[in-house]
Structure 1
């Protein structure tokens, strides 16, 4: 690996344990049998893409989902199903980030939405913490606040340009192949984190 000066981390499946199947199962139980066609790790239809780029509000998301499915589920049921994928933070990975901070510029780049943002911050605060989650990084970037979304090239370019990072000296760690491929196409060094792999075992 070429010498690196900065590392950009994904969140879900990298620092936060997630299980997309739990959300799929919850929505299927609620009556949305084709949920896997609407949203998965590898794909998001326009409704979910708009949610993750902040183009629609949470209320509009709930209303539009009900309109499209014709089920008119209570907001709390949709919220709970949508948040079901969010599990626990990887505590050893958080500790590892602290060891990296003196050596590299650290960034978070996550496709997320305000519903999940609120939910995973609550999960993070379930344990006693001496700092906010974002303080592990020089800056945390969330797609819903940027109007941009992985794997589109412009989201990577934005982070590189705003922080004056050289692609060849920047490492991107993600658990989704399409996101890795997009970053690599821009000359960014990449590591695809597979199932059962953890950042604390990376040769950094």
Structure 2
């Protein structure tokens, strides 16, 4: 951590526990026979990318999903299945974020969408009594609101430019290798967080040296 003044965090798999298989299973229970293939198909058609960059509104996403589920399935059921992957915020990680705020400028950069944003803030409110993740950071950046998603260099550069950060003094933490490579391309310091390691273990090791 020597020379680091700012930290940019990924969300899913770093701060928020997620399990994509739960969403695959939930859509299967709604009657989607192979959601994995459907997800790949939608990625190819840019539906999910467009949802995550705000080019497609949630109602357009839901309309597209209705083409692949039985007629009786409701919007609410599709939303619940889509959100099934979002699990919990371990208290230890939230406490770490609060501690880091005392020593660093901290930011969140997440590839997400309006449906998931509503849900994970609701999880935080219900479990910890905190209405928004914004409480833990100087500023939060969500792909569907900024129009860029990792590993596009513009996503990282926006944070650097808006906040006057020196990339060499800024650490980026993510659990996805392409996102790490994208961060390196704009000069950020990086940590590729790989399970079962957690950010709590990473910072405990750093502060014990």
The yes-or-no answer on 1:185 pairing with 2:185 is yes
**CA deviation profile, 1:65-117 (whole Å, cap 9, x unmatched):** 223x3644321121111000000002101101111112110000001111101
Aligned residues: 201
| RMSD (CA atoms) | 1.9
Structure 2 vs 1, CA of residues 63 and 166 (structure 1 numbering), >3 Å: closer, same or farther?
Answer: same
Say which SS state the counterpart of residue 88 (structure 1) adopts. coil
Match of 2:156 in 1: 156
Structure 1 CA distance for aligned equivalents of residues 188 and 128 of structure 2: 35
Aligned mates of 2:69, 2:13 — CA distance in 1: 32
**Structure 1: 5+ residue stretches without partners:** none
Q: CA deviation at 1:133?
A: 2.3
Task: Give the equivalent residue in structure 2 for 1:133.
Answer: 133
Q: Which residue of 2 aligns with 1:15?
A: 15
**Contact (CA 8 Å) 1:6, 1:170: kept in 2 or not?**
yes
User: TM-score scaled by structure 1?
Assistant: 0.91
Deviates most, 109-118 or 127-136: 127-136
Q: Secondary structure at the match of 2:76?
A: helix
Find the aligned partners of 1:74 and 1:54 in 2 and give their Cα distance. 23
Match in the other structure for 2:59: 59
SS in 1 for 2:149: coil
- Alpha-carbon distance in 2 for matches of 1:38, 1:164: 41
TM-score, with normalisation over the residues of structure 2? Answer: 0.89
Contact 1:2 1:168 in 2 (8 A): no
Counterparts in 2 of 1:166 and 1:76: CA distance versus 1, 3 Å: same
Does structure 2 retain, via aligned residues, the 8 Å contact 1:170–1:189? yes
Answer yes or no: is 1:50 the counterpart of 2:65.
no
Which string of whole-angstrom CA distances, capped at 9 and with x for unpartnered residues, describes residues 109-156 of structure 1? 001111101111110011343674211100011111111111111111
Aligned mates of 1:44, 1:10 — CA distance in 2: 21
Conserved in 2, the CA contact under 8 Å of 1:53 and 1:147?
yes
Unaligned runs of 5+ in 2: none
